[in-house]
Structure formats: structure tokens, C-alpha cells
Structure 1
Amino acid sequence: MQTVYLVEALRSPIGCFGGSLKDVGAVPLATAVVKEVWQRSGLSAECIDEVVLGNVLKSGLKGNPARQAAIHSGIPVSVPAITIDKQCASGLRAITLAYHQILAGDSNVVIAGGTESMSNVPHLVMNARWGQKLGDLRTVDALFHDGLHCAIEDYHMGITAENLVERYQISREEQDVFAFESQQKAIKAKEQGKFEKEIIPVAIKSKHGSTLFTEDENIKNTNLEKLLTLKPAFKENGTVTAGNASSLNDGAAAVIVASEQAVREYNLKPLAKIRSVASAAVSPSIMGIGPVPATQKALTRANLTIQDIELAELNEAFAAQVLAVNKELGLPEEIINVNGGAIALGHPIGCSGARIVVTLVHELRRQKKQIGLASLCVGGGQGVSIIIEAV
């Protein structure tokens, strides 16, 4: 089986809900990252075989955001593009699809990633198309209807985290300590400039001109005492709060996935190679545990054990969810989300799967380590994992 490489790995800064990126939108965010990733690689745009982007909240974006971003970024109209939705793992699934395309011999170079602008998700007017004869028209928030609400269990994703709390006997204090440490790690990483190589500036236009947005703005210098006082967000007498869960955010991320042939032919400089990928499924009621079977599959396919993992990026949908996952996986705490995770940095859902791969690639190289794991849980009860090796 041929080796498949990650050649470039970049992301936008992550914006707060209603923050600096609220007027940019998912397609312009994707356009900026897609354009930068192929230009930095030194590739001619004509060498790109396809663009694959994840996006979850598509209401109001018009058709196929990946195609829009590809053309707006200067990629020729002859290059196809597809937008995929696998909820929070959409960005990572885009990368794994690119990997499989190359293994199958269908492509040599694919741009893959994800984008989301949660600030721009509209409210929907339900039952309006054929007329409302009597009574009020009801609006529905597409953020919840199409993203944060489990369509199968018919409750908020936060309840699935509470289900894991009960199953794995996770305390409120454990969750709040985890969330606090995520914020502290992110603050330190930002201060030390650890994100500088992975972040591209995004131009924000206003009536006063254009400014560059260059840093993640979701990171908060909170304190543990304050976290411990927050009220449960999803369940009376529950333990999952706004402080120990991820937030609503805007961002985009992308990588170039390339074959051995492309690396040689175009003189590309790979950052890492993909050792294995895997998807798995679990009960929707405990969707947060999905990374466990996905990671076990990926380890088996790579002929590795959990002890071989040197760094891990586990998407922090909820502190309880990551804690539950690691009760099963048994990773050393000191190698998990070393620069903070989604609780601190933010969780633009269609982007996050690609974002954690971007961060993992750069951190492996920074620390001169080799084997890394990135994994996410998926609404509806799934998990997606990838194992990479720095080169």
C-alpha cells in the first residue's frame, strides 16, 4: 500500500460566537484557508484533483460551499469539489475521504478540511411554504435543529454527556478541573506563539477599511472557583455546564493530502504521513464515547498499540466526554491536547476535525515526536480517528 502524505496544514484563527468573524461567513473562511494552503505548497492549482470540505450548518450558504470556496480561491473550474457532513467529524472525514481517494488511485492531490460559521446560522420559519392558515408561525434555530440537537434521541447533545457522566461516574470537579486546564494550556500556547505556524490571518472588512484577524479569541483566563459555581446547562442537578463544554464558534482549516507520486513529481515537502484512519459507531445516547472504537480500529490498522501514541488531539465536545473516552483508552494525561482543546479554543463544528489534525501535525514536529492520534465524537453516535506520523 502506498504512503499518503499531509503536505500543508493551516487554519484560520477561531472566532467567538458573534465575535470578530461574525460578518465573514463559512465560505469566505474556507476560501482564505484553501487559497493559502495550495499557494504555500508551491503547487500549481492545475495539479489539484479535488477539494473536499466538511460543513454541518449549511442553511443559507447556497449550494456546495466547497465548490464555492475552490473557485473563489483561484482553483480552476475544471477541478471538482464536494461538501460533506459528518457532524463534528466533518473536517476529519473530509481528510479520510481524500486519503481513500488517493489509495484507490483516483487522485494524487486533494485539498481537504472543514469550515463553519456558527455566528451566521439562520433561524428557520417552519411550515411556511404551503401557508399557515391559523396561528403563529414558529421559527426554529438551525444551530440546534441541524447541529446541537440529536435527531435520533431528540435531545440536546449535552444530555449525551450527562449520560457518560452517569455511566463512568465522572464528578463535577473532574470536569471543571479538565476545563480549567484546557484554558490554561491554551493561554500558555498562545503566549509562547505555538499557534503561529498553523494560523493564517483573515481579512475583516468594515466601513473603516480592512483589518487582519490573527489570533484565537475564545481563550479565557478563567479561574477554577468560578467554573465550580456555574449552573448545570442541560439537566436539573446535572454536572455539564457552559464552562466545561465547548462553545459556538467560527473557523476553517485545511490540509493538502498527496500521494507518493505527487510528492516526488512536484517536489513537495510533506509534514506527516497518514498511518491509518477509522470510523466507528455507538449508541446515539452515548455518542461521546465514539472515539474509543474508532481509535481501536485505527490502532489495529496501523499495527500499533495505545502506548505508541506520543501526542493526542481529542476534540473536547465536553470535558466529561473526553474523560470518559480516556477511561477506556488509557492515554497519559500529559500527551492529550497539550495546547488546550475545543473548550478553550472553540468548536466550529464543521471545521474542528480538520483543526485538530492541523494542530497535531505542527505539535508533533515542534516536539520532534512521531506518532499522533486525532479523534472526535460525532452526533448521532459515531467516532472518527486518524493516526499520523511526522516526517
Structure 2
Amino acid sequence: MTTYIYDAVRTPFGRAGGALSGIRPDDLAAVVMKATVERTGLDPARIDDVIFGDANQAGEDNRNVARFGALLAGFPSSVTGVTVNRLCASSVEAVVQGSRAIEAGDADIVLAGGVESMSRAPFVVEKSPRAWPATGNQTMWNTSIGWRMVNPQLPKGWTISNGESAEKVAREGGISREEQDAFAIRSHRLAAQAWADGIYDGEVVQVPGAELARDEGIRDGASMDKLAALKPLFAPGGDGTVTAGNSSSINDGASAVLLGSEGALPGEPLARIVSRATHGVAPDVFPLAPIEAANKALARAGKTWADVDLVELNEAFASQSIADIRGWEGLNPEKVNIHGGALAIGHPLGASGGRIIGHAAHELARRGGGVAVAAICIGVGQGMAIVLER
């Protein structure tokens, strides 16, 4: 049995402390869930399961945000929900699990996707192993992003920050500051143009009470001079190349991908899922993991990079994106992120995978056919990729 994508929607992505920061993550999830059934005319009672990704789950997104989102969206209580976590690829994982359920015959329709409010991610304090009151000071952790409460048995070289990993990949791959900045400017330029051309109109739904004209992080005035003025963030002594300008930002948003078996919904699907794959590398070089993940997925689909018409690669960092593109032998780089990427659009961790898969599916429908790859890097040394075809 084959899994088809019947629709895909997302919210505009907001910046940290920006337009969406006042919206709870469960409410963000409910927005895209409700919009999906309204757009397709689907009776939500027909949904066999809701599978949503969420990388944090430490605050208002705790205790199964997929289930709470479905209830807030007005779905019948008979519709179940489960929340999955593969960090940055959480909503890719949701789509993969949903497609497997359909292909196994365990489901006919699955609503997959993801959500993240990095603005509202709480500070947390470790609980004392002894009865309270505890003695001494306690460490408070910011759960928005990055390592926390790390197991001391892990090698220290692995537990560097994501930005330090991006610096390492840039240094070892000979990726210059100028290349990274130019890649970032391309992302902003293409994203701004896509919004101006109405490319995103059919796949972005507004959040009531927090309307955004477009993704909040896009900068029309990005230039080499402006980016060159930014200081490196992750290298001692300031001699690095990774800056806020060539890194993705802290963001809020949600995405949804409606999956079904053949004929499960009326109308022609946007695309079908052909194959998927994961790949692991050492945690300190996690940006490189999508290279082999995508290669594996293409091999499983019986295709090569010459067969690929477009690529949606999540841009966590410019250095990561450049390294991945270089690693895909035979791919024309101009086919990657033709409408901008996360450096401009944003990267709300749990929602990003649904965005790239959804946009790839919509673009295949606009073109009337083709092959697309959606790929994403994942903190702690993983990559994930999915191949779509129409």
C-alpha cells in the first residue's frame, strides 16, 4: 500500500518574542489541525490517528501535545493522538510513522505534523534526589534549544553546542564566511520573492489574533556588508565564521501534513511518499548526517540525484547546508530551496520537517509532477530524508 499526501499547511513562522510568542504551542497545533480538515472537507472523525512532533515538551506542550491539539481543534474525543520527538526532525518522524501505519494497513487517514514555541519554552530546575528542602544551589536550564542535564559519561567533544558543530563543519570543510553569508542572503532573497509571488499563499494559514503577513524572520535588506558586520558567535577569540546572520533563528510555528491511502479522500493528492531513511554520525558533526540519509532514501527509491527535480533542505546553518549540498554528487545546487529556507523562514524545531515536506509536495503539484527530496539535520548526530513523487 502507498501513502499519499492530500494536503499540507503551516502557520507563518514567528521570531522569538515576536508575533506568535503569545500563543501557546497546543493552540498553534490546533490551528493547523483545524485548518487541514476545513480545507479538505474531511470529517475529523475519520482520522485514525494524529501524530505530531515536538522537540521540547517541557512546558505548555507537555503530556502529549498532539492529543491536546486535536481536542482544542474540536476533533471528536475518539480521535487519538501521539507526540514524537526526534528533535529537529520530529515532524518528519511524525510523517514517517503515519505513512508506515497506512502502509501496514493499521490506518487509512493520519494527520501528521509538528509544533514548537521556542519563545515559550520554560526554564527548568533539576529536582533534588533527596527529600526537600534540598541543600545548596540548583542549576536552572533554558529549554529553548541545546544540551541540558548532560550525562557526564558522554565524551565532552560530543556535547558541544550546535553552533560549535557548525563551526567545526565549516573549518574542516573549508567553507568560508563569505560563502556562508552569500548562502544566507540567497535564502532571504528567495523567500521574500516567493511570498511576493504568492507561492506560499496556498499552504500558510494565519493564527487568529496574531496574523503575520509572512514569515517574520525574512530580511529584505540582507546584504554582504550587513552580514559581514556581525560577530562570530561560537568560536573563541572571535575568529570563527558562524554568525547570527548565517544561522537559523529561534522560532515559533506549527505544520500539518494530511496522509492517506489511495482514494482515502476525494481529489488528486499532492504527492506520494516513495521512500525514507535515517543516518547517524558523531554528535559533534551532526550537520553532515543528511548527506547519507538522503543518499539512502534515493537508493531505496531506485533513483539518483539526476532524477531529482527539487530539494527542500532544512537550513539550520549555512555551513551545514553548503556541506550537505556538496556531499550530494550529481545534484544541481540551484534545485535546493528554490523558495528560500530556514535561514530566512525560521526553524521552530518540531514544525520544520512538516514545512519542508509540505512545501515539497505543494511544489510538485504546482509543477504537475516530478521527484522531490526533503532532508533535515538533527542535533545529537542524526539526519533524516524522505523522497516524494507525483
Report SS of the residue matched to 2:268. Answer: coil
RMSD: 1.9
**Structure 2 matches for 1:1-391, cutoff 5 A?**
2-61=1-60, 62-127=62-127, 130-131=131-132, 133-145=134-146, 153-204=158-209, 212-221=211-220, 222-236=222-236, 237-263=239-265, 267-330=266-329, 331-390=331-390
2:13/2:345 contact within 8 Å kept: yes
CA 257–20 in structure 1, closer or farther in 2 if over 3 Å, else same: same
**Runs of at least 4 residues of structure 1 off by over 6 A?**
147-151
Q: Report the residue type matching 2:323 in the other structure.
A: A
1:214-244 deviations in whole A, cap 9, x for unaligned?
4211101211111112111111211111110
1:240-280 deviations in whole A, cap 9, x for unaligned?
111101000000000111011524xxx24311111111111
> Could you tell me how far apart the structure 1 residues matched to 2:5 and 2:360 are?
12
Report SS of the residue matched to 2:246. Answer: coil
TM norm structure 2: 0.93
> Could you tell me how far apart the structure 1 residues matched to 2:197 and 2:27 are?
29
How far apart are residue 213 of structure 1 and its match?
3.5
> Could you tell me how far apart the structure 2 residues matched to 1:370 and 1:155 are?
39
How far apart are residue 146 of structure 1 and its match?
5.4
CA 145–338 in structure 1, closer or farther in 2 if over 3 Å, else same: closer
> Could you tell me how far apart the structure 2 residues matched to 1:182 and 1:36 are?
27
Q: Report the residue type matching 2:55 in the other structure.
A: V
> Could you tell me how far apart the structure 1 residues matched to 2:359 and 2:262 are?
23
> Could you tell me how far apart the structure 1 residues matched to 2:9 and 2:149 are?
26
CA 377–149 in structure 1, closer or farther in 2 if over 3 Å, else same: farther
2:128/2:134 contact within 8 Å kept: no
Greater mean deviation of Cα atoms: 364-373 or 9-18? 364-373
> Could you tell me how far apart the structure 2 residues matched to 1:150 and 1:314 are?
31
Q: Unmatched 5+ residue regions in structure 2?
A: none
1:30/1:253 contact within 8 Å kept: yes
How far apart are residue 139 of structure 1 and its match?
1.8
1:150/1:156 contact within 8 Å kept: no
Q: Report the residue type matching 1:356 in the other structure.
A: I
> Could you tell me how far apart the structure 1 residues matched to 2:170 and 2:149 are?
19
How far apart are residue 144 of structure 1 and its match?
3.5
1:31/1:72 contact within 8 Å kept: yes
CA 379–279 in structure 1, closer or farther in 2 if over 3 Å, else same: same
How far apart are residue 145 of structure 1 and its match?
4.9
Report SS of the residue matched to 1:230. Answer: coil
CA 95–133 in structure 1, closer or farther in 2 if over 3 Å, else same: closer
Greater mean deviation of Cα atoms: 27-36 or 216-225? 216-225
1:371/1:388 contact within 8 Å kept: yes
> Could you tell me how far apart the structure 2 residues matched to 1:224 and 1:252 are?
31
CA 165–113 in structure 1, closer or farther in 2 if over 3 Å, else same: same
Q: Report the residue type matching 1:254 in the other structure.
A: A
Report SS of the residue matched to 1:243. Answer: helix
Aligned residue pair count:
380
> Could you tell me how far apart the structure 2 residues matched to 1:144 and 1:154 are?
13
> Could you tell me how far apart the structure 2 residues matched to 1:112 and 1:123 are?
28
1:64/1:82 contact within 8 Å kept: yes
Q: Report the residue type matching 1:280 in the other structure.
A: H
Report SS of the residue matched to 1:372. Answer: strand
How far apart are residue 212 of structure 1 and its match?
3.3
Report SS of the residue matched to 1:143. Answer: coil
Q: Report the residue type matching 2:242 in the other structure.
A: V
Q: Report the residue type matching 1:85 in the other structure.
A: N
Aligned residue number for residue 207 of structure 1: none
Report SS of the residue matched to 2:58. Answer: coil
1:202/1:214 contact within 8 Å kept: no
Report SS of the residue matched to 2:23. Answer: coil
> Could you tell me how far apart the structure 1 residues matched to 2:147 and 2:81 are?
23
The structure with the greater share of residues assigned to strand is: 1
TM norm structure 1: 0.93
